[in-house]
Chains A and B, each alone.
Chain A
């Protein structure tokens, strides 16, 4: 199993550009999550999904959109990138509720908006 994979590893965006961060898992997990980690800080939940077709906002959803059309994929869309979105983005997945099953993290995408 590849586990949780993320692409790209690094990206530099200009202010106002858009992009999609890709996340995929091959563990047949139902739950998937997107977090951002600012320098020297903990992770903050952006969006999560409990299954295909279902998404919910986390702590910091503004400026982002998600979709979940398949169990395997959970892309994160940034529209009109802003410098405040400079961060490392981690995708994670778990078999079911994160309070009952371990979350497995992807390697992260380092995004810089200038």
Chain B
């Protein structure tokens, strides 16, 4: 089955800096790659996603890139703010069988 690895497990940045989180996947048939933000004690919330027919997608300060050949995708957050502090999860899915990475705890220091 699909295996998703996520790095780093923790990331600390200064407010205003950029943050990059990277994921790799194993199943070349996976075609959908969402990113979720989860604040402490809350449910995961979708922040951005990308499909296998697209190489890059941007939404304000958040962007995701996908390299299908290398089977890796990345989340980029620019101009980070303290409210970006949370745990971020990547996922890869083929139809409804979604596999998640272990998460990255992002801390943005004011």
Interface residues of A (CB under 8 A from B): 31, 33, 40-45, 48, 50, 56, 58-59, 90, 94, 97-100, 102-103, 105-108
Contacts and interface: CB of A to CB of B under 8 A. Distances in A.
A103 B98 CA distance: 11
A99 B44 contact: no
Contacts, number: 60
B100 A99 contact: no
Interface size range of chain B in the complex: 20 to 34
B93 interface: yes
Nearest to B105: A40
- Which of B1, B44, B102: most chain A CB closer than 10 A? B44
Given A43-B44, A105-B43, A106-B43, A59 B95 contact: no
User: 3 tightest A-B contacts by CB?
Assistant: A42-B100, A99-B32, A105-B43
A106 B45 CA distance: 10
Contact of A33 (B4, B42, B89, B96): B96
B38 to A, nearest CB: 9
